[in-house]
Amino acid sequence: MENNKQTNFTVQKTEEQWKKELTPEQYYVMREAGTERPFSGKYNMHFEEGIYSCGGCGEPLFSSESKFDGHCGWPSFDREIEEGKILEKLDKSHGMIRTEILCAKCGSHLGHVFNDGPTETGLRYCVNSLSLDFEEEDSK
């Protein structure tokens, strides 16, 4: 899939730069639109308070307040932290029609969004842990 090969993202890096900065597993997911194995990601059943950001550029994407157990094997959120942080693209790969989600700042593949969420938004952003970093909320 070539969706993340666009040139209009704020963060611009060559594929060689991405390969140096990301682990091979992260590169596969974020730059080649791969998927980590279900239930294998470190943030699947992670419910600490804080902010989940893009593993490629550090852009804040999701708040722990929007995270829920989607029983799907990947971290699930019902909304982005702020409108415009997530870019949606039609994905017709693997014989399915889905909505791919990308970081709007660097174009990294995050996962997919589905209209089967259990909250009032009705959305389930199904995200690869390998696409995310987490910063715990400061105790005050």
How many CB atoms are located within 10 Å of the residue 112 CB? 21
pLDDT digits (tens, 9 = 90+) for 37-73: 999 999 999 999 999 999 999 999 999 999 999 999 9
Full set of structural domains in the chain with CATH: 11-136 (2.170.150.20)
pLDDT digits (tens, 9 = 90+) for 19-41: 999 999 999 999 999 999 999 99
CA–CA separation, 15 vs 18, rounded Å? 5
pLDDT digits (tens, 9 = 90+) for 87-107: 999 999 989 999 999 999 999
54 assigned ligand-binding residue = yes
Q: Is 43 left (phi over 0), alpha (psi -120 to 50) or beta?
A: alpha
106 assigned ligand-binding residue = yes
pLDDT digits (tens, 9 = 90+) for 63-89: 999 999 999 999 999 999 999 999 999
Q: Is 90 left (phi over 0), alpha (psi -120 to 50) or beta?
A: beta
Active site residues: 126
Place of tokens 């730059």: 31
Residue 6, pLDDT score: 55
Q: Find all residues with CB under 8 Å of 2, minimum gap 6, and list them.
A: none
pLDDT above 60 (res 2): no
72 assigned ligand-binding residue = no
Q: Find all residues with CB under 8 Å of 91, minimum gap 6, and list them.
A: 1, 3, 33, 97, 98, 99, 100, 112
103 assigned ligand-binding residue = yes
Residue 71, pLDDT score: 94
pTM for the full model? 0.91
